[in-house]
């Protein structure tokens, strides 16, 4: 897979944080293609994926689209997943995790769909290399994620693995969702405070700033006769 090839990047986050996630993504210079209830989509290559993983704070995972196809049955899922050249991406020595998000009448057991997708990947690698990788539910190796909704399926490489917010180098006393949402609102709070200060000062017939340039707070203006 050429790392310069551009495709859809899906960035996931906690429900309610899409607005703040989009602000972060746009600050990095990217354009948002779609805003989702718990994420956003944009276009980019694998170098962009690495940059997003490094800088995003409200994100859970950064997923890179590998393939999309129509899917009407577990057999079709197996066939389409196996058709991808996994041997170029995954070594038999690596640990594989497959995660599926299923919303279709074509199957009533999401675990079976995960199994079919995992079997398709390891069977392909075995046919091409003579060895098959081990698989696990732990997202500590290569993580493949697919979304099967209705008759359409999208296959992604989860480039983050474990959630970015669970990584040990970001120790914080609050959950990341609360922390970064509070941080993102800080500019709005400062702006609102400045507006209230100016309004209170004008009401009292006084300037909104002291001679030193420091803004007059609402309490200063109200308590000064």
What CATH number is attached to the domain comprising 79?
3.30.2130.30
The answer as to whether 1 is a domain residue is: no
Q: What is the pLDDT of residues 19-28, one digit of tens each?
A: 999 999 999 9
Q: Give the residue ranges of DSSP H helices in the chain.
A: 18-27, 46-55, 74-82, 110-129, 176-203, 218-223
Mean pLDDT on 124-143: 93
Please check the confidence at residue 92 and state whether its pLDDT lies above 70. yes
**pLDDT beyond 50 at 52:** yes
pLDDT reported for residue 2: 85
Say yes or no to pLDDT of 217 above 50. Answer: no
In a domain, 184, yes or no: yes
Is the pLDDT at 210 greater than 60? The verdict is: no
Structural element, H or E, at residue 42:
strand 39-44
Is residue 112 over pLDDT 50? yes
Can you tell me the mean pLDDT for 24-40? 96
State yes or no: pLDDT of 131 exceeds 50: yes
Q: Are residues 114 and 34 in the same domain?
A: yes
In this prediction, residues 60-80 reach a mean pLDDT of 97
Regarding whether 200 and 138 lie in a shared domain, the answer is no
pLDDT band for 208, please (50, 70, 90 cuts): very low
Q: Are 121 and 88 members of one domain? A: yes
pLDDT at residue number 140: 85
Both 182 and 147 in one domain: the answer is no
Q: Which pLDDT score, from 0 to 100, does residue 221 have?
A: 39
Band of residue 195 on the pLDDT scale cut at 50, 70, 90: low
Could you give the angle at the alpha carbon of 61 between the alpha carbons of 84 and 151, nearest 5°?
45
Query: Does 108 map to a domain?
Result: yes
Residue 222 has what pLDDT? Answer: 39
Enclosing domain of residue 122 = 7-166
135: how many CB neighbours lie within 10 A of its CB? Answer: 18
Instruction: Supply 184's token pair.
Output: 């993102």
Last residue of a domain, one of 123, 140, 166: 166
**DSSP-based three-state secondary structure for 205:** coil
Is residue 81 scored above 90 in pLDDT? Answer: yes
CA nearest to 73, candidates 99, 106, 100: 106
Average pLDDT, the chain: 83
Alpha carbon 175 to its chain's center: 16
pLDDT confidence tier of residue 219, bands split at 50, 70 and 90: very low
Whether 61 maps to a domain, the answer reads yes
Q: How many domains does the chain have?
A: 2
Sheet holding 152-158, edge to edge: 34-36, 39-44, 7-13, 59-70, 152-158, 142-149, 95-103, 134-135
**Cα–Cα separations (whole angstroms), residue 112 to 78, 118, 120:** 11, 10, 12
Answer yes or no: is 12 within a domain: yes
Plot region of 111 (φ>0 → left; ψ -120 to 50 → alpha; else → beta): alpha
Check whether residue 212 and residue 126 sit in a common domain. Answer: no
């Amino acid at each position: 897979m050429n790392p310069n090839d551009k495709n859809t990047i899906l960035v996931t986050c906690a429900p309610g944080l899409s607005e703040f996630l989009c602000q972060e993504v746009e600050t990095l210079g990217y354009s948002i293609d779609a805003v989702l209830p718990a994420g956003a989509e944009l276009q980019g290559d694998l170098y962009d994926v690495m940059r997003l993983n490094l800088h995003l704070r409200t994100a859970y995972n950064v997923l890179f689209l590998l393939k999309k196809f129509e899917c009407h049955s577990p057999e079709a899922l197996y066939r389409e997943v196996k058709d991808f050249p996994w041997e170029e991406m995954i070594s038999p020595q690596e640990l594989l995790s497959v995660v599926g998000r299923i919303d279709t009448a074509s199957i009533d057991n999401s675990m079976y769909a995960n199994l079919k997708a995992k079997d398709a990947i390891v069977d392909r690698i075995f046919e091409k290399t003579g060895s098959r990788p081990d698989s696990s539910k732990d997202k500590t190796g290569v993580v493949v994620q697919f979304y099967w909704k209705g008759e359409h399926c999208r296959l992604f490489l989860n480039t983050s693995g474990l959630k970015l917010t669970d990584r040990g180098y970001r120790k914080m006393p609050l959950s990341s969702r609360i922390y970064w949402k509070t941080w993102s609102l800080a500019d709005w709070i400062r702006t609102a405070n400045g507006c209230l200060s100016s309004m209170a000062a004008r009401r009292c017939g006084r300037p909104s700033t002291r001679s030193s340039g420091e803004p007059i707070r609402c309490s200063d203006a109200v308590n000064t006769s």
